[in-house]
A and B are shown apart, each in its own frame.
Chain A
Amino acid sequence: MPKDALNSPETLLDVRNLSVEFRTPRGRVKALRDITIPIRKNRIIGIVGESGSGKSTVLWALLGLLAKNADVTGGEVRFGDRDLLHASEAQLRATRGEEISVVFQDPMTSQIPVLTYGRQMLDILYRRPNVSAAEKRRMAIEMLGKVGIPDPDKRIDQYPHHFSGGMRQRAGIAMALLTGPQLLLADEPTTALDVTMEAQIIHLLQDLQKELEATVVVVSHNLGLIAELCDDVVVMYAGEVIEAGEVHEIFHNAQHPYTRALLECDPARIDDVSRKLPVIPGDIPDLTKALSGCIYAPRCQRALPVCREKLPPDVARGEMSLARCHLLDGPHHDPSWPPPLDVMTVGQGVVGASKPARVKTDKPLLEVSDLNVQFETVGHLRARLKGITQRHVDAVLDVSLLVAPGETVGLVGESGSGKTTLGRCVLNLVQAQAGSVRFEGQEIRNMPESRFKPLRRDMAMMFQDPVGSLSPRKSVRALITEPFQIHGVTGIDLDAEAERLADMVRLPKPFLSRYPHELSGGQARRVGVARALALNPKLIIADEPTAGLDVSVQGEILNLMADLQAEHGLGYLIITHNLPVVRHIADRLAIMYLGRIVEEGRTDELFGRPVHPYTQALVEGVPQPDPDRRRVHVSISGEVPSLLNRPKGCDFAGRCPFAQDLCRAEKPPHVKMANGRRHACHFPLD
């Protein structure tokens, strides 16, 4: 970092040469090495990096809230004239909350469930004995109003469980801002929220920062969020700052090969829709080992021999920017680096040839029609006693869907849209109340398990949590070969099968003897794919296949899935909320809202010309990793209503900018358009 920036009065908080190590049973993990981040006043600073980059560790180090096994081995954190690293616990406590406050990732777990917001906010102001309780309450109500909570004077007396996810995050922001801190830290503030909610929170943070003239540090892995929200960006990799600069410099003229690769891997940035996504090869290095040279060298496409031996110089560009790479300066300076933006620097699969001509059959693989799944909310007796007539909620309502062999269908919706329930219902893990599910023409809805079991060989499911969906006390070998044992497949060599499957999903063989907790997210996902593929199924239902994976890894998994589809003619039903990803892999999309499919059609048409206002909101709701394409307004407001009080008319009417009286009175029927698209809207957009 240029030295002149360090002491300028503009700098509010200054992290200098910070090093942190963790003592673990595996040895000392050098989690942060010589980190320097000046945080300028009245700016929004984004710290971006993949998992394991140490971005959250920086945050906790600032607050003195590192885990007990952490050792700060060097550096300082200057906040005004104080050094926070060496402050006493009493001083730190005075600083935390009053001058530096935090917005947490998950508002579900970071708020006290048994206290009202009024009580919690009163407690936050405990250091102000000369302010009366009534005055504190007034301040709290005012702040809740500022963050966009309707009727703050009534809702302040409610408990966290009365608030929806988005509202809770708003309340979390209000609590963080209540003391008027100079510095607001936000740790993945939108990760637990849906796309439409994320956009609202981004705008809220931006508006509040301007209004309150606060300085904000946002930690995130989401490039779109960073581009949309931040003024300055710091890119971290494996515990080092490898590049820093203003947001335009980073996103339009990235200097470091890692930043370049990271940007190129983001599916939202790739306009050309192909079935292959770029990937950064390799894994994050083991930080317990002795490190030498450039930390990114083992994965870098442009690595030189010197990169593995000598630490690259910090090459300054402007007042605030730097990049740490041999290619930029010194004896190994390469004037042709960085190449123009349209030149790809990371590897990508062969495009085109991989997608085979679809097996043309009239018979669809999976045919769901008018499926209804209901969940019971109150028991028989209680309903009778309380006079409740509606004992059920409709989790899935009149859903029809087709998946042909070799086809990829994306099922997209926000949380609570019933997409996962639908997937589980197809696999007979959830009972359905009406409609039909046909697999290769055979009715399978609510089939008894004994008859359904043989069909499970043809249908497999990939679960959302890559590590959590693997039995923790089983080795990878046992997990991969389990399907054979469950279905009594005999006459095969299990060890040979395990190796064949590991090969197929490109999992190195020594990993076969590992246990799930010893795998990274990407490796665990491969094991999940191998298990799903063991018995050569025809249909795979993938629930959020890229959830929990880093940008550089999700490309590998999606490419793998595409290759396997080409090889085996699999049909995929991909359940996701991640539109940028599904756009690259799905042939057709179905958009679900509150258990109903509101629009269905070919992916390119759906993206190019959405018919349903909700689809449009989703398509526009994805933050673009490009600071020039910031949105000026939020397309839809509000939140997904609860299933318990489903609107009488169109489910989306309450949030729809085009809603009319008819929408509120009557549910729109499913309409088939001339080109095969279907939608459920009274007034389709055109």
Chain B
Amino acid sequence: MNPSESETGIPAVDASGLPDHVTEADIRESAARERREKLRMFLTNWQGLTGLILVTLFFASAVFAPWLAPYDPNALDVPARLSGPTLEHLAGTDQLGRDTLSRILYGGRVALYIAAIGVSVSLVIGLILGMIAGFGPRWLDNLLLLVFDTVRSFPTIVLALATVALTGPSLGVVLAIVIITSIPQYARVARTATLTLRNTDFILAERSLGASMTRTLLHHVMPNVIGPLLILAAMEVPVVVTVEAGLSFLGLGVTPPTASWGTILNEGYLVIRDAPWMVIAGGIPLILTTLGFTFLGEALRDIFDPRMGKGR
């Protein structure tokens, strides 16, 4: 029941229930307008746009590699081995005469696979652990922090060397190493953000309504914590890609003959005096991907992170 004006002294509202200077369309407008404005800011930011284009290229080239690649990545063209860029082989060939461009495109699939699975799994686990550490009892927080710090204190490459010595090189090991070493980063960011939210009025309000801890974390803490984490994840992708390339370069990652940017670099490195093309062609996608994700992450942070706001 809505008591009328004469009863309550409440402002006259018209049939739609709005004060006369606000129209319904205005109200719907304002929320959408802010989002559109952010999108516009993002698209006019040269860094953001470059990042977005490079990242799209990375994804597209990896996903559509079977259609884009001119040759099978393992097909040998022995007469043309170690050739420079020619019309047949746009990025040259390696010592076995395999087409480098095709190998780069297929190598992107490995990079994408590691990056997508590695980053998303570690993000989810890190987020959950971080929120529990920030929201749970003090002893649990201390215990988790100890674990995070222990894991972080291992140098990634040394950890990988030790593991591979036990298990032998494989893509799965690379993935596991990537996930384990990047969980603490996300967890620490999530924990700090959760700690600052923990004593805010709205969390207390949820408690006073009787919301369970799971509900509070999932519905009220997570949406406020996830933003900075996603930005962090975008900036983390190139790190994961280079870790994979690095491990493969050392022969600890993917096993031959599978193409990976790291193995291309490794093979090119052996013949760098005779055919520098392989190293150059294998390095370019690595550089572009790193730049792309870094630009994208920074542009996202500048626009969406309220702490980066300018002016008073």
A residues at B contact (CB < 8 Å): 25-26, 67-69, 276, 278-279, 281-283, 285-286, 298-299, 346-350, 424, 427, 429, 449, 452-453, 456-457, 460-461, 463-465, 468-474, 482-483, 486-487, 503-504, 506, 508-511, 513-515, 518, 528, 531, 556, 559, 563
Cross-chain contact A282 with B215 (CB below 8 angstroms)? no
CA A556 – CA B5 in complex, angstroms? Answer: 12
Q: Within 8 Å CB of A349, what residues of B?
A: 7-9
Q: Within 8 Å CB of B215, what residues of A?
A: 486
CA A528 – CA B206 in complex, angstroms? Answer: 12
Can you list 19 A-B pairs with a CB-CB distance of less than 8 A?
A: A25-B33, A25-B37, A67-B312, A68-B310, A281-B9, A282-B19, A347-B5, A349-B7, A349-B9, A424-B204, A456-B208, A460-B208, A469-B204, A469-B205, A482-B209, A482-B211, A503-B1, A503-B2, A506-B10
Other than the given A69-B310, A283-B22, 19 more pairs (CB < 8 A) read A25-B33, A25-B37, A67-B312, A281-B19, A346-B9, A347-B9, A348-B9, A429-B208, A465-B201, A471-B220, A472-B202, A473-B220, A482-B219, A486-B215, A510-B24, A513-B28, A556-B10, A559-B8, A563-B8
Q: Which of B20-45 contact A (CB under 8 A)?
A: 20-22, 24, 26-28, 30-31, 33-34, 37-38
CA A486 – CA B218 in complex, angstroms? Answer: 13
Cross-chain contact A281 with B12 (CB below 8 angstroms)? yes
Q: Within 8 Å CB of B7, what residues of A?
A: 349-350
Instruction: Kindly identify which residue among B19, B24, B30, B223 contacts A473, using a CB–CB cutoff of 8 Å.
Output: B223
Given A281-B10, A429-B207, A559-B8, is A468 in contact with B200 using a C-beta cutoff of 8 Å? yes
Q: Within 8 Å CB of B5, what residues of A?
A: 347
Distance in Å: Cβ of B221 to nearest Cβ of chain A = 9
CA A350 – CA B8 in complex, angstroms? Answer: 7
Given A282-B21, A486-B209, A506-B2, is A470 in contact with B202 using a C-beta cutoff of 8 Å? yes
Chain B contact patch, size range: 35 or more
Cross-chain contact A456 with B8 (CB below 8 angstroms)? no
CA A429 – CA B28 in complex, angstroms? Answer: 37
Given A486-B209, A486-B210, A486-B215, is A286 in contact with B10 using a C-beta cutoff of 8 Å? no
CA A449 – CA B201 in complex, angstroms? Answer: 19
CA A278 – CA B200 in complex, angstroms? Answer: 33
Q: Does B17 contact A (CB under 8 A)?
A: yes
Distance in Å: Cβ of A23 to nearest Cβ of chain B = 9
Q: Which of B123-162 contact A (CB under 8 A)?
A: none
Interface of A is mostly: loop
Cross-chain contact A514 with B202 (CB below 8 angstroms)? no
Q: Does B256 contact A (CB under 8 A)?
A: no
Cross-chain contact A513 with B31 (CB below 8 angstroms)? yes
Given A510-B28, A515-B31, is A463 in contact with B209 using a C-beta cutoff of 8 Å? no
Q: Does B16 contact A (CB under 8 A)?
A: yes
Q: Which of B34-66 contact A (CB under 8 A)?
A: 34, 37-38
Q: Within 8 Å CB of A348, what residues of B?
A: 9
Distance in Å: Cβ of A500 to nearest Cβ of chain B = 9
Q: Does B311 contact A (CB under 8 A)?
A: yes
CA A286 – CA B210 in complex, angstroms? Answer: 38
Cross-chain contact B205 with A461 (CB below 8 angstroms)? yes
Cross-chain contact B208 with A474 (CB below 8 angstroms)? no
CA A268 – CA B219 in complex, angstroms? Answer: 42
- Which of B12, B209, B220 is most buried by chain A, counting CB atoms within 10 A of its CB? B209
CA A26 – CA B208 in complex, angstroms? Answer: 35
CA A349 – CA B9 in complex, angstroms? Answer: 5
Distance in Å: Cβ of B139 to nearest Cβ of chain A = 14
Interface of B is mostly: helix
CA A463 – CA B202 in complex, angstroms? Answer: 8
Q: Within 8 Å CB of A515, what residues of B?
A: 31
5 pairs of A and B residues whose beta carbons are closest in the complex: A281-B11, A473-B223, A456-B210, A347-B9, A67-B312
Chain A: CB-nearest residue to B29: A26
Cross-chain contact A509 with B9 (CB below 8 angstroms)? no
Q: Within 8 Å CB of B27, what residues of A?
A: 508, 510-511, 513-514
Cross-chain contact A471 with B219 (CB below 8 angstroms)? yes
CA A518 – CA B27 in complex, angstroms? Answer: 9
Given A474-B220, A514-B31, is A463 in contact with B205 using a C-beta cutoff of 8 Å? yes
CA A515 – CA B33 in complex, angstroms? Answer: 13
Q: Does B255 contact A (CB under 8 A)?
A: no
Q: Within 8 Å CB of B207, what residues of A?
A: 429
Cross-chain contact A469 with B202 (CB below 8 angstroms)? yes
Instruction: Encode B268-312 as 1/0 by CB contact (under 8 A) with A.
Output: 000000000000000000000000000000000000000000111
Given A429-B204, A486-B215, A508-B16, is A279 in contact with B21 using a C-beta cutoff of 8 Å? no
Distance in Å: Cβ of A167 to nearest Cβ of chain B = 26
Cross-chain contact A298 with B21 (CB below 8 angstroms)? yes
Distance in Å: Cβ of B222 to nearest Cβ of chain A = 9
Chain B: CB-nearest residue to A465: B201
Instruction: Kindly identify which residue among A68, A285, A346, A453 contacts B312, using a CB–CB cutoff of 8 Å.
Output: A68
CA A578 – CA B107 in complex, angstroms? Answer: 69
CA A510 – CA B206 in complex, angstroms? Answer: 24
Q: Within 8 Å CB of A68, what residues of B?
A: 310-312
Q: Within 8 Å CB of A513, what residues of B?
A: 27-28, 31
CA A91 – CA B25 in complex, angstroms? Answer: 48
Q: Within 8 Å CB of B24, what residues of A?
A: 510
CA A457 – CA B27 in complex, angstroms? Answer: 32
Cross-chain contact A469 with B11 (CB below 8 angstroms)? no
CA A513 – CA B5 in complex, angstroms? Answer: 25
Chain B: CB-nearest residue to A461: B208
Cross-chain contact A518 with B210 (CB below 8 angstroms)? no
CA A611 – CA B201 in complex, angstroms? Answer: 35
Cross-chain contact A282 with B11 (CB below 8 angstroms)? yes
Chain A: CB-nearest residue to B226: A473
Cross-chain contact B208 with A472 (CB below 8 angstroms)? no
Cross-chain contact B204 with A285 (CB below 8 angstroms)? no
CA A531 – CA B204 in complex, angstroms? Answer: 14
CA A321 – CA B140 in complex, angstroms? Answer: 66
Cross-chain contact B205 with A470 (CB below 8 angstroms)? yes
CA A61 – CA B37 in complex, angstroms? Answer: 28
CA A279 – CA B26 in complex, angstroms? Answer: 25
Cross-chain contact B9 with A464 (CB below 8 angstroms)? no
Cross-chain contact A460 with B209 (CB below 8 angstroms)? yes
Q: Within 8 Å CB of A460, what residues of B?
A: 208-209
Instruction: Encode B219-244 as 1/0 by CB contact (under 8 A) with A.
Output: 11001100000000000000000000
Instruction: Kindly identify which residue among B2, B12, B17, B208 contacts A427, using a CB–CB cutoff of 8 Å.
Output: B208
CA A465 – CA B204 in complex, angstroms? Answer: 12
CA A285 – CA B22 in complex, angstroms? Answer: 9
Instruction: Encode B187-204 as 1/0 by CB contact (under 8 A) with A.
Output: 000000000000011101
Cross-chain contact A468 with B202 (CB below 8 angstroms)? yes
Cross-chain contact A453 with B210 (CB below 8 angstroms)? yes
Q: Within 8 Å CB of B257, what residues of A?
A: none
Chain B: CB-nearest residue to A457: B210
Distance in Å: Cβ of A304 to nearest Cβ of chain B = 15
Q: Within 8 Å CB of B10, what residues of A?
A: 279, 281, 506, 556, 559
Chain A: CB-nearest residue to B7: A350
Q: Which of B241-279 contact A (CB under 8 A)?
A: none
CA A26 – CA B11 in complex, angstroms? Answer: 26
Q: Within 8 Å CB of B16, what residues of A?
A: 508, 510
Distance in Å: Cβ of A532 to nearest Cβ of chain B = 9
CA A472 – CA B16 in complex, angstroms? Answer: 26
Instruction: Kindly identify which residue among A299, A469, A509 contacts B17, using a CB–CB cutoff of 8 Å.
Output: A509
CA A486 – CA B17 in complex, angstroms? Answer: 29
Q: Within 8 Å CB of A482, what residues of B?
A: 209, 211, 219
Distance in Å: Cβ of A396 to nearest Cβ of chain B = 17
Given A513-B28, A513-B31, is A279 in contact with B202 using a C-beta cutoff of 8 Å? no
